[in-house]
Amino acid sequence: MERKAHYWRHHRPYRLSDYSDLRHYLASSSIGLCRHHPDQFVNVREVKPVHVFTHQYKAGDTHRIVLMSDLHWDNPKCNRDLLKRDLEYAAHNGLNILINGDLFCAMQGRYDGRRMKSDIRPEHNTSTYLDDLVGTAVEWFAPYMDNIALVGYGNHETSILKNCETDILARFVRGMNDQGGNIVLGGYGGWVVWSFRMPSGNAVSYRMKYFHGSGGGGVVTRGVISAQRMLAQVHGQSCAWQGHVHESWSMVNVVESLNNNHTPILREVLQIRTPCYKEEYGDGTKGWHVMRGAPPKPLGAYILELNLGSRKVNARAYPLNI
Ligand SMILES: [Fe+2]
């Protein structure tokens, strides 16, 4: 059921020369020229509201997906060891990875009032900051291109789009796909549908609404209120997934409705809030995060586990603890 990991790719030693011309390519091209067909434009910014993954299945199968958000990969406070561990787990187990915004932190440009000289990695401390963010990200994530299935926007990527008029996320996806990936560029919000089919024609599906998130989350309520608000404005989802507030929880809401036979039915809506990979609290002595009274935050990813019956999908979500 789950895709087999391409071990040759993940176990072969990484060679910088594999992508030696990539940074230059990305630095010099920001408008979507296809590398293989440089006379053709690629519409990398086309974002579809719904993406469907189709799989064959038999009753009793389990399908697992890694959900992660708020990587803030380029921030020196990103726990890359943990991130790499989770990506490797997905690769070794052949799991698809979905990323729900803020893959980039991207706060160190000259336009950004939040920039600090201590908060930039040396390889990004260049006069081509945004280009190098994209180029180094493609290098770093390339070993996982077979597993990353969808990458959506967060407020950090859309902030760059607004202030600098370049779409670093679309450029990242294009760079990965140009190396052989098959990654869908998601939206700030959208839908993912898993459609499972049997050779006999039987089929079940699972529908997830994703949204990066908005608002501050709340020190006490931790983003639960906005998740409940989503229940008021979005119907039909089996699961609702948000990130953004760097909290970690999942919960089940049960809603009542009438089916076509006018019989009351109860339906579960699984809600997930994935944490982050940026550890900003440290020892609690200083820094913007500490001074504004923000608490230590959980790190990591979630597993969405779909247990497939002949007529129904039973789902649960839990932190990826290896
Ligand atoms: Fe974030």
Q: How far is the CA of 143 from the centre of ligand 1 (A)?
A: 23
Q: Distance (Å, rounded) from C-alpha 306 to C-alpha 303? A: 10
* Separation CA 25–CA 33 (nearest Å): 10
Nearest to 151 by CA among 167, 162, 136: 167
Question: Does the pLDDT of residue 29 top 70, yes or no?
Answer: no
Q: Is the pLDDT of residue 32 over 70?
A: no
pLDDT digits (tens, 9 = 90+) for 276-316: 999 989 999 988 888 888 889 999 999 999 999 989 999 99
Mean pLDDT score, 61-82:
98
276 alpha carbon to ligand 1 midpoint, in Å? 7
d(CA 115, CA 103): 18
pLDDT of res. 289: 86
**How close is the Cα of 35 to the center of ligand 1, in Å?**
31
DSSP for 4-35? PP-HHHHHSPP-GGGGTTHHHHHHH--S-B-S
In the predicted model, what is the mean pLDDT of residues 258-264? 96
The Cα–Cα gap between 51 and 159 comes to 24
Q: Give this prediction's pTM.
A: 0.86
Contacts of 49 (CB under 8 A, 6+ apart): 187, 190, 191
* 155 CA distance to ligand 1 middle (Å): 7
Residue type for position 286: K
Per-residue confidence (pLDDT) for residue 322, from 0 to 100: 77
What pLDDT shows up at residue 218? 83
Dist. CA 97–CA 145, nearest whole Å: 10
- Using a pLDDT cut of 90, give the percent of the chain over it: 75
Q: How far is the CA of 263 from the centre of ligand 1 (A)?
A: 42
Task: Provide the token pair at 139.
Answer: 């290098």
Sorted by sequence, the CB contacts under 8 Å of residue 44 that are 6+ apart come out as: 32, 167, 170, 171, 173, 174, 185
- In this prediction, residue 252 has a pLDDT band, given cuts at 50, 70 and 90, of very high
pLDDT score for 73: 98
Q: Quick one: pLDDT at residue 51?
A: 97
Across-strand partners of 252?
A: 270
Measured in Å, residue 104 CA sits from the centre of ligand 1 at 9
pLDDT of residue 45: 56
For residue 179, report the distance from its CA to the centre of ligand 1, in Å: 27
pLDDT score, position 1:
43
pLDDT number for residue 253: 96
Rounded Cα gap, residues 239 and 305, in angstroms: 11
Q: pLDDT of 141-175, one tens digit each? A: 999 999 999 999 999 999 999 999 999 999 999 99
Distances (CA, A) of 259 to 53, 207, 236: 26, 18, 13
From CA 222, how far away is CA 234, in angstroms rounded? 20
* Alpha carbon of 187 to ligand 1 centroid (Å): 15
CATH number for the domain running over 46-319: 3.60.21
88-92: average pLDDT: 98
Mean pLDDT of 213-231: 91
Question: What is the 69 CA–ligand 1 centroid distance (Å)?
Answer: 7
State the DSSP code for 103: S
pLDDT of 213 above 60: yes
Report the length, in residues, of the chain.
Answer: 322
CA–centroid distance, residue 182 to ligand 1 (Å): 24
Dihedral sign (CA 295, 298, 299, 301): negative
**CA of residue 284 to ligand 1 center, whole Å:** 19
65, amino acid identity: I
Instruction: Parse the chain into domains and list their residue ranges.
Output: 46-319
Query: Helices marked H in the chain — which ranges?
Result: 7-11, 22-28, 80-92, 129-141, 155-164, 168-178, 224-233, 288-291
299 contacts 79 by C-beta, under 8 angstroms:
yes
Determine the pLDDT at residue 17: 40
Give residue for tokens 């036979």: 261
Q: Scan for tokens 């039987």, then name that residue.
A: 202
**Ligand 1 centroid to residue 245 C-alpha, Å:** 7
Runs of H (alpha helix) within 224-287: 224-233
Return the minimum-mean-pLDDT range out of 75-84, 111-120, 295-304: 111-120
Distance from Cα 55 to the centre of ligand 1, integer Å: 31
Ligand 1 centre to CA of 103 (Å) is: 8
Please determine, for residue 50, whether its predicted confidence score (pLDDT) is greater than 70: yes
